[in-house]
């Protein structure tokens, strides 16, 4: 979970004069309370104009090229080009799973749907020859593991909607035996938010419990909590198994029947089910080779051993599905609980799924069954309203109501063994591709610059629950030397005294910034008075974290001169390859003295040197395009601005003129 932050700079950094943050005018960035009209055909709403409320109830998924819905196809295409590397062992460190299917959607349009690698690559621990492998397809059926918890949670909310359950009622009201060992106060809401105090997994494992299903269910009821309910967050399979037992007791139906009747049937999710039929086996991706318990190569049988011990139907795992079926479920939630006229949840219930009930446990934001704002896999789509889940078999679903988008990744990363590298880089890359494809438009429609986390996955480090092992990278955007007038050439104010630029008053800097960063990323404006050898941070300009997907207008002051060696400004963005943020957009840079404009970033003749930043459209038009003779200043632009714009990619190629 990210929070807006105004970064505290190290004591070794000299900070000067305070900056001021104000909101960009509503005409440029929109207001939180304004109406939310649907975007025009071919025009995206924009990542910086968050949607309000649900999508229109009649929204039905369709396929469309990214450009047809106003997205940048380059970002999506770059992701699709990289997907084969993740499924190819020859790619070295980029290899993560044998097979995968991914889907991206925005505003009701599926803009990418691609499969790569193999659904079956091994028999036992031995790799099959290429001709005997089963390729992954867009219609491949995957064991979605803990994405099952989302289905269980929706069924629970359906029973709440129907008046059969109350969220704050004790579980023991429906299951009296559950009260054993101090669990009498645990509520349904605490099961759904993982705040019950129950341990993560059954101990002993259910598959070791003799006596059949009755004994295994009794084992769940006898679980001993490790903490008082409501005092801690612990992600727990036992929570969802307990919820399953409640649902089955209240309705008199098994969980798979409740899922079929309440979700997959109405939404016509024909490929989504517990215990898929044998006729579907040819389309199912294989998972692990299980030796304890001795189950062999799994294909169509649930990977989770505790779910298997419960007959393949459990509240925490067991469902198989496809990207297309999960896409319909995601769009149903974006629509407020309805799809093609079939409602599975009331809008108020959908709101509960995405409401954070665990604010007292920072970093563990959780709605009813859905995780919220988890940058480690939601990446640049993360926000306080973004909901989703992951699955141990290598699956993830990320739903972003603010951009009305979702990203689905289904893999068989546990094929043929469970011990594999983290696939979180792929999960974040998928979300980042979609987030970056959604435009961020500068206030007023002028030119802007963008810098984001590097696209590399490994970068010499390994995931360890944090940034350890990943080098930081700096992206800088730097002005040329600003030309300040000496005293003898300064304009004279009304009192007749000379006022050189910056001598008797501070220089003022104004710019617009769109900041969407990880909490450990940093963005700051700096200045140099010695030709760029040393840099000092300007107070009040440091940013990190999440800022509501809104442009900010920043005003800052630099100390009075003189500056004998001239003055340079730069904007520095520091991040790593594991960052979950989208990045930084910068626009509207303007530097003024008491008498004149020293720098105007919107002028076509302004020079900026970029390292790790890139310019965004609209392109800066040449002077001749504005009706002026080449070489003449644009009205309102400083005549002393240096010609040209310099852009240098992060990886050190020579600067190029734009």
Instruction: Kindly report, residue by residue over 95-148, the tens digit of the pLDDT.
Output: 999 999 999 999 999 999 999 999 999 998 899 999 999 999 999 999 999 999
From the CB of residue 362, how many other CB atoms can be counted at a distance below 10 Å?
10
pLDDT average, residue stretch 640-650:
42
SS (H, E, C) 427-439: HHHHHHHHHHHCC
Partnered with residue 170 across adjacent β-strands are 187
Greatest CA separation for the chain: 100
566, 531 contact by CB (below 8 A): yes
DSSP character at residue 261: I
pLDDT at res. 579: 84
Give the whole-angstrom CA distance, residue 654 versus residue 648.
Answer: 6
pLDDT at res. 137: 99
Q: Exposed (0-12), middle (13-18) or buried (19+): which is 495, by Cβ within 10 Å?
A: exposed
Give the whole-angstrom CA distance, residue 111 versus residue 322.
Answer: 17
Q: Following DSSP, what letter does each residue of 599-627 receive, concatenated?
A: EETTSTT--EEEES-EEESSPPPPGGGGT
Q: For residue 645, is pLDDT > 90? A: no
pLDDT average, residue stretch 226-235:
98
Instruction: Kindly report, residue by residue over 161-191, the tens digit of the pLDDT.
Output: 999 999 999 999 999 999 999 999 999 999 9
Helix residue spans in 181-313 (DSSP H):
188-192, 212-221, 237-251, 255-259, 305-309
Q: Following DSSP, what letter does each residue of 342-378 receive, concatenated?
A: EESS-HHHHHHHTS---TTSTT--B-SSSEES-HHHH
- Average pLDDT over the chain, rounded to an integer: 86
485, 498 contact by CB (below 8 A): no
Give the whole-angstrom CA distance, residue 238 versus residue 532.
Answer: 58
From the CB of residue 653, how many other CB atoms can be counted at a distance below 10 Å?
9
Evaluate the CA torsion angle 379, 402, 45, 645 in order and state its sign: negative
Give the whole-angstrom CA distance, residue 526 versus residue 545.
Answer: 19
Q: For residue 341, is pLDDT > 70? A: yes
pLDDT at res. 39: 57
Find, among 590, 313, 587, the residue nearest to 446 by Cα.
587
Q: For residue 25, is pLDDT > 50? A: no
627, 604 contact by CB (below 8 A): no
Find, among 97, 95, 96, 93, the residue nearest to 459 by Cα.
93
DSSP character at residue 309: H
Instruction: Kindly report, residue by residue over 400-436, the tens digit of the pLDDT.
Output: 999 999 999 999 999 999 999 899 999 999 999 999 9
pLDDT at res. 502: 54
Find, among 370, 148, 398, 396, the residue nearest to 256 by Cα.
148
Q: For residue 15, is pLDDT > 80? A: no
Measure Cα distances from 21 to 445, 469, 508, 543 in Å: 21, 34, 13, 11
Give the whole-angstrom CA distance, residue 186 versus residue 184.
Answer: 6
Domain locations along the chain: 15-23+449-657, 62-437
pLDDT average, residue stretch 516-542:
94
pLDDT grade, residue 526 (50/70/90)? very high
Find, among 194, 188, 142, the residue nearest to 165 by Cα.
188
Is the N-terminal amide bond of 604 cis, ω within 30° of 0?
no
Q: Exposed (0-12), middle (13-18) or buried (19+): which is 378, by Cβ within 10 Å?
A: buried
Q: In the chain, pLDDT over 70 holds for what percent of residues?
A: 82
Region of residue 104 (left: phi > 0; alpha: psi -120 to 50; beta: else): beta
The highest-level CATH class for domain 15-23+449-657 is mainly beta
pLDDT at res. 578: 84
What are the strands, taking DSSP E only, across 126-235?
126-127, 134-135, 142-143
Is the domain spanning 62-437 CATH 3.20.20.80? The answer is: no
Instruction: Kindly report, residue by residue over 374-399, the tens digit of the pLDDT.
Output: 999 999 999 999 999 999 999 999 99
For the chain, the distance separating the N- and C-terminal CA atoms, rounded to the nearest angstrom, is 38
146, 317 contact by CB (below 8 A): yes
Q: Exposed (0-12), middle (13-18) or buried (19+): which is 637, by Cβ within 10 Å?
A: middle
- Tokens found for residue 9: 């700079």
Q: How many CA atoms lie within 13 A of 90 on its CB side?
A: 2
Q: In the chain, pLDDT over 90 holds for what percent of residues?
A: 73
pLDDT at res. 365: 98
pLDDT at res. 124: 86
pLDDT average, residue stretch 512-533:
95
Place of tokens 């960035």: 29
66, 76 contact by CB (below 8 A): yes
pLDDT grade, residue 656 (50/70/90)? very low
Q: For residue 23, is pLDDT > 50? A: no
Give the three-state DSSP class for 319: strand
pLDDT grade, residue 494 (50/70/90)? low
């Amino acid at each position: 979970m990210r929070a807006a932050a105004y970064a505290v700079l190290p004591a070794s950094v000299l900070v000067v004069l305070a900056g001021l943050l104000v909101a960009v005018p509503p005409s440029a960035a929109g207001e939180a309370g304004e109406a939310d009209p649907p975007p025009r055909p071919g025009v995206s709403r924009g990542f910086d104009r968050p949607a309000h409320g649900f999508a229109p109830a009649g929204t039905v998924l369709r396929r469309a090229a990214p450009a047809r819905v106003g997205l940048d196809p380059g970002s999506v295409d770059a992701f699709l080009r990289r997907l084969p590397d993740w499924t190819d062992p020859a790619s070295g460190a980029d290899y993560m799973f044998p097979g995968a299917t991914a889907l991206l959607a925005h505003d009701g349009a599926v803009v990418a749907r691609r499969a790569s690698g193999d659904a079956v690559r091994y028999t036992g621990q031995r790799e099959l020859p290429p001709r005997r492998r089963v390729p992954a397809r867009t219609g491949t059926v995957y064991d979605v593991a803990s994405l099952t918890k989302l289905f269980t949670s929706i069924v629970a909310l359906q029973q709440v909607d129907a008046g059969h359950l109350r969220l704050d009622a004790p579980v023991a009201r429906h299951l009296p035996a559950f009260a054993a060992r101090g669990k009498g106060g645990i509520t349904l809401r605490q099961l759904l938010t993982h705040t019950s105090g129950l341990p993560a997994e059954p101990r002993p494992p259910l598959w070791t419990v003799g006596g059949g299903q009755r004994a295994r269910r009794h084992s769940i009821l006898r679980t001993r909590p490790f903490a008082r309910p409501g005092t801690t967050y612990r992600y727990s399979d036992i929570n969802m198994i307990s919820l399953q037992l409640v649902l089955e007791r209240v309705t008199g139906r098994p969980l798979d029947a409740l899922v079929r009747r309440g979700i997959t049937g109405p939404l016509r999710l024909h490929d989504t089910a517990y215990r898929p039929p044998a006729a579907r086996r040819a389309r199912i991706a294989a998972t692990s080779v299980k030796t304890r318990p001795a189950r062999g190569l799994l294909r169509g049988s649930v990977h989770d051993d505790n779910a298997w011990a419960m007959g393949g139907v459990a509240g925490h795992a067991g469902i198989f599905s496809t990207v297309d079926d999960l896409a319909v479920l995601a769009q149903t939630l974006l629509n407020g609980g309805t799809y093609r006229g079939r409602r599975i949840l009331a809008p108020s219930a959908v709101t509960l799924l995405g409401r954070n009930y665990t604010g007292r446990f920072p970093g563990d934001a959780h709605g009813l069954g859905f995780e919220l704002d988890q940058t480690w896999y939601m990446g640049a789509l993360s926000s306080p309203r973004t909901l989703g889940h992951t699955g141990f078999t290598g699956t993830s679903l990320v739903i972003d109501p603010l951009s009305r988008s979702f990203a689905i990744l289904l893999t068989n990363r546990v094929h043929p063994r469970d011990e594999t590298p983290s696939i979180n880089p792929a999960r974040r890359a998928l979300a980042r591709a979609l987030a970056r494809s959604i435009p961020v438009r500068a206030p007023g429609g002028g030119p802007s610059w963008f810098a984001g986390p590097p696209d590399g996955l490994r970068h010499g480090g390994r995931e360890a629950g944090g940034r350890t092992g990943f080098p930081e990278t700096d992206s800088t955007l730097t002005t040329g030397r600003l030309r300040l007038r000496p005293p003898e050439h300064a304009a004279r104010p009304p009192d007749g005294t000379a006022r050189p630029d910056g001598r008797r008053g501070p220089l003022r800097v104004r710019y617009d910034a769109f900041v969407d960063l990880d909490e450990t990323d940093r963005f700051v404006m700096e200045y140099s008075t010695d030709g760029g050898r040393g840099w000092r941070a300007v107070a009040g300009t440091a940013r990190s974290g999440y800022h509501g997907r809104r442009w900010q207008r920043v005003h800052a002051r630099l100390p009075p001169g003189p500056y004998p060696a001239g003055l340079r400004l730069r904007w520095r963005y520091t991040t790593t390859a594991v960052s979950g943020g989208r990045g930084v957009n910068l626009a509207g840079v303007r530097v003024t003295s008491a008498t004149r404009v020293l720098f105007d970033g919107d002028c076509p003749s302004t020079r900026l040197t970029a390292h790790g930043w890139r310019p965004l459209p609209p392109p800066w038009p040449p002077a001749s395009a504005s009706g002026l003779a080449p070489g003449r200043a644009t009205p309102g632009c400083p005549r002393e601005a240096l010609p040209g714009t310099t852009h240098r990619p992060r990886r050190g190629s020579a600067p190029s003129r734009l």
